Structure formats: C-alpha cells, structure tokens
C-alpha cells in the first residue's frame, strides 16, 4: 500500500473513533409552556435515561391578556404578545438578567444541546375564560402563535397550541408530584389540590369511581392502566374567587374579610370572615360552587360534588398558591395592616379562603403537605409515556357552552 494512503487512512480511523467518543447522541427534549392567567412560563425537559432534567426559562406576558383585556392589554397587542411568547425560545438560550447577583434563569441552548421532540403551548384557566368570552379571536391567537413557534423550531418539530381541559391540568399536576415526591409510596395513596389564579384542580386515583362520570378516565401510569378522577373548578382560583363567588355585594369581598379588618375591631374573628365565603351551594356542605363552567343543559355556573372515595385518600399534596401562603398572613393582613402583600384587596381574604377551601374538601392539615412543582413536568411525562392513549371519548371542555374550540 502507498505510504501516503496508509497515513491518511490511519488519521481517518483515529478521527472516527475520537468522534464516537466525544460526540454522543443528543438527549431528547420536550418544550412546554405554562400559559397561565398571570403570565407564560417556558420549561424545557431534557430526557436523560429515566430522568427528566428541568430547564426553567423566562416568564413573559399572559396569552389571554389581549382577549380578556386584562393587565392593560387589548386585541391590538395580540401580535406583540405572540411574538413575545415565541421569542422565549431564543431568550432561554442565554442566561437571564441578573437579580440579586444571580441570573433569572440559566441559559440552555436547546437547538444545540438536545433534539427537540415537540413544543406544547398549553393554556389554563385564564385562557378558558378568554375562549368563553371571545372564541373567534382566541382561534386567531392560537393559529398566529403556532405559526410563529413553527418558524422558530422548524417544520419537523411537532407544535401544539391549545387550552388544556381541566382533567388534563389536574392529571399533569398529579404526574409531576408522582415523579418528584412519591418514589417511596404507592401512587394510589395520594391526591393533589392545586390552587391557581383562576381555577383549582382536585385529582386522585379512584378505582371505584363510576366511569360514567366524565371527570373519571383511565390513563396509563408507569405502563399500567389507572382510573383517575380529575376536576377543575373554574373561577375558584385565589385571584378569581373574590370576583366569582356570590357575595352579598357582587365582586366585593365581605367587610369581615377586608384588609386590616381587625385593626379597629378587637372582636374580629377568623370565623366572622370564613362564614361569609360561600364555597358550597346554599343549603349544602358538599356541592362545591363551580362559577364559570357550564351545566350540561348550557347554563353558566354549576356545582360539583367530589366522589365519596376522596375521603379514603390518606395523603394530599398542595400545589400552586398554597406554597405562597404563610402562617402569619392572617395576623399580618387581617388583624394588622402590614405591607408586603401583592394585592391589599385580597390580602386578608386569601389565607382564610384557602383554609376554608381545604376544609370544604374535607382535607385536614395533618393529611397534607405543600409541594412546589410545575404541572408542565407531568405534561412531558404524559407525552413520553403516552398516558392518554386509552382515552377514546372526546375531551370535556366545561368552559364552552357548545363543546371544545376547534382551531
């Protein structure tokens, strides 16, 4: 063999071996946006073996704002906000701006560091209300956003932009808790209560629930079928409840729940506020008000009673707004008038509301603990495990009078 050819082949062989060692296959990544009522947060989940590595990105404007005309936005802002949401895919590639000496998020260049399998922009209760009030412009928003995200990730990456059903939102939250906090206990032993800004979800395994109930579905968990109950109360989120519950004066929390009510009233008690928060229908202790969802006959505003089986769940994990509640809140904002709460209008109301809500669900303090995880992790897990594969019935969009929005 020619000496020169031998040297070239030898170099090629060494380079090939080195390439195999230093450039392993990229991990799969699942991109999920939590499009909530207060803002839109980007998450990327990198699959490494059986583990999911979470990369939390920037929080941008709420998608529902231009449709609901909230936070100073209107329809003229639709294009700007969809641009902002799509551009979060660029922002996460670099460290976020510094806050107290640390970046708001750690940069993760998904386009180079992993193989994006999908982008899911999943909206929750704020967008349910937006679709309910303005379905036509909501369709335009979803289509516009899908087009802009596809332009960012390319045509080979699956892009899905839509509003989650209440069942899905609760299920994804439950799966997130299972993945992070319940490795040493059977998954049939716990449920979750998630308190969002505009809705609240209650989810738990319910093998004996009646499958005729449309909040009961069989899903795949760890490769096995499991019957789950999952319901979302639209309007019972802690930001929306002061406006949705049937108080004596509509849209105004009772005076006994007002900021600093005990400052000039030494006889004030927690009970005097709690008794005026109507979480259940008049004359019932179990029919929980569901202010914004529709009845099956098309009337807005309904009630929902949890299956009796929820009383058999020994452990409950509390998510969302429960994580921000402090034991001192009632003293600080009801008995006194301390600064520091983001909204004085609900500063006293919220801690009492959260406590009464759990008591209405018949969940005791010793049964529950707080967890700080995002339902977006459960959404990624569900995609990887195809957890909804066994569901053959159409999705239930309780917030729409005439069925789910098609776009």
Question: What pLDDT is stored for residue 8 in this prediction?
Answer: 38
* 385 falls within a domain: no
Assess whether 219 and 344 both reside in one domain.
yes
* 406 falls within a domain: no
Distance from C-alpha of 18 to C-alpha of 14, rounded to nearest angstrom: 6
Distance from C-alpha of 25 to C-alpha of 403, rounded to nearest angstrom: 43
pLDDT digit string, tens, across residues 314-330:
999 999 999 999 999 99
* 151 falls within a domain: yes
Assess whether 152 and 191 both reside in one domain.
no
pLDDT digit string, tens, across residues 248-279:
787 789 999 999 999 989 999 999 999 999 99
Q: Which of 19-23, 142-146, 166-170 has the lowest mean pLDDT?
A: 19-23
Taking residues 206-211, what's their average pLDDT? Answer: 95
Assess whether 263 and 153 both reside in one domain.
no
Predicted structure pTM score: 0.91
Instruction: Residue 191: give its domain's CATH number.
Output: 3.30.420.150
Assess whether 176 and 82 both reside in one domain.
no
Distance from C-alpha of 376 to C-alpha of 174, rounded to nearest angstrom: 11
Does residue 183 have a pLDDT over 60? no
Strand pairing class (102-103; 98-99) = antiparallel
Assess whether 326 and 243 both reside in one domain.
yes
* 393 falls within a domain: no
> Strands across the sheet with 199-205, in order?
216-221, 224-234, 199-205, 190-195, 315-320, 368-370
Assess whether 156 and 210 both reside in one domain.
no
Instruction: Residue 61: give its domain's CATH number.
Output: 3.30.420.40
- Per the structure, the count of domains in the chain is 2
Question: What pLDDT is stored for residue 64 in this prediction?
Answer: 97
Domain span at 74: 27-163
* 112 falls within a domain: yes
Domain boundary among 98, 128, 163: 163
Assess whether 100 and 195 both reside in one domain.
no
Does residue 1 have a pLDDT over 60? no
Does residue 16 have a pLDDT over 70? no
Does residue 185 have a pLDDT over 80? no
Domain boundary among 163, 183, 211: 163
* 315 falls within a domain: yes
Q: Which of 127, 151, 155 is nearest to 141 (CA)?
A: 127
- Please tell me the number of Cα atoms within 13 Å of 65 on its side-chain side: 22
* 6 falls within a domain: no
Assess whether 204 and 94 both reside in one domain.
no
Question: What pLDDT is stored for residue 132 in this prediction?
Answer: 96
* 397 falls within a domain: no
Assess whether 203 and 241 both reside in one domain.
yes
pLDDT digit string, tens, across residues 389-399:
999 999 999 99
Assess whether 99 and 229 both reside in one domain.
no
Assess whether 317 and 184 both reside in one domain.
yes
Question: What residues have CB less than 8 Å from 36, skipping those under 6 apart?
Answer: 62, 123, 124, 125, 126, 196, 197
Assess whether 158 and 173 both reside in one domain.
no
pLDDT digit string, tens, across residues 365-389:
889 999 999 999 999 999 999 999 9
**Res. 339 pLDDT band, cuts 50 70 90:** confident
Question: What pLDDT is stored for residue 187 in this prediction?
Answer: 73
pLDDT digit string, tens, across residues 37-79:
999 999 999 999 989 999 999 999 999 999 999 999 999 999 9
pLDDT digit string, tens, across residues 93-118:
999 999 999 999 999 999 999 999 99
Taking residues 174-178, what's their average pLDDT? Answer: 95
């Amino acid at each position: 063999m020619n000496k020169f050819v031998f040297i070239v082949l030898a170099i090629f062989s060494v380079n090939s071996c080195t390439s195999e060692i230093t450039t392993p296959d990229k991990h799969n990544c699942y991109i999920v946006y939590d499009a909530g009522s207060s803002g839109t947060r980007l998450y990327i989940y990198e699959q490494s073996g059986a583990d999911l590595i979470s990369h939390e990105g920037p929080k941008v404007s709420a998608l529902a704002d231009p449709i609901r005309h909230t936070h100073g936005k209107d329809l003229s802002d639709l294009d700007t906000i969809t641009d902002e949401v799509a551009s979060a895919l660029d922002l996460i590639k670099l460290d976020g701006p510094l806050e107290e000496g640390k970046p708001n998020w750690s940069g993760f260049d998904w386009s180079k560091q992993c193989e994006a399998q999908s982008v899911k922009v999943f909206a929750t209760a704020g967008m349910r209300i937006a679709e309910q009030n303005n379905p036509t412009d909501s369709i335009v928003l979803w289509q516009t956003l899908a087009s802009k995200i596809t332009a960012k990730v390319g045509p080979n990456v699956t892009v899905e932009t839509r509003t989650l059903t209440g069942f899905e939102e609760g299920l994804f939250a439950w799966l997130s808790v299972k993945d992070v906090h319940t490795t040493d206990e059977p998954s049939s032993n716990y449920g979750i209560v998630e308190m969002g800004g505009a809705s609240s979800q209650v989810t738990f395994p319910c093998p004996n629930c009646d499958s005729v109930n449309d909040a009961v579905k069989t899903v795949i968990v760890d490769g096995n079928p499991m019957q789950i109950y999952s319901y979302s109360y639209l309007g019972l989120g802690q930001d929306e409840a002061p406006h949705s519950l049937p108080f004596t004066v509509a849209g105004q929390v009772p005076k006994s729940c007002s900021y600093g009510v005990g400052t000039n009233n030494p006889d004030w008690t927690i009970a005097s506020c709690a008794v005026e928060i109507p979480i259940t229908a008049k004359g019932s202790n179990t029919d929980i008000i569901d202010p914004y969802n529709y009845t099956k006959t098309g009337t807005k505003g309904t009630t929902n009673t949890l299956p009796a089986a929820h009383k058999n769940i020994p452990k409950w994990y509390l998510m969302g707004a429960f994580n921000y509640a402090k034991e001192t809140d009632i003293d600080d904002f009801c008995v006194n008038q301390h600064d520091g709460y983001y909204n004085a209008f609900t500063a006293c109301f919220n801690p009492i509301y959260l406590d009464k809500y759990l008591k209405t669900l018949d969940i005791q303090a010793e049964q529950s603990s707080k967890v700080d995880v995002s339902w977006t992790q459960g959404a990624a897990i569900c995609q990887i495990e195809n957890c909804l594969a066994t569901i053959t019935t159409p999705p239930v969009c309780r917030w729409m009078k005439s069925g789910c929005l098609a776009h």
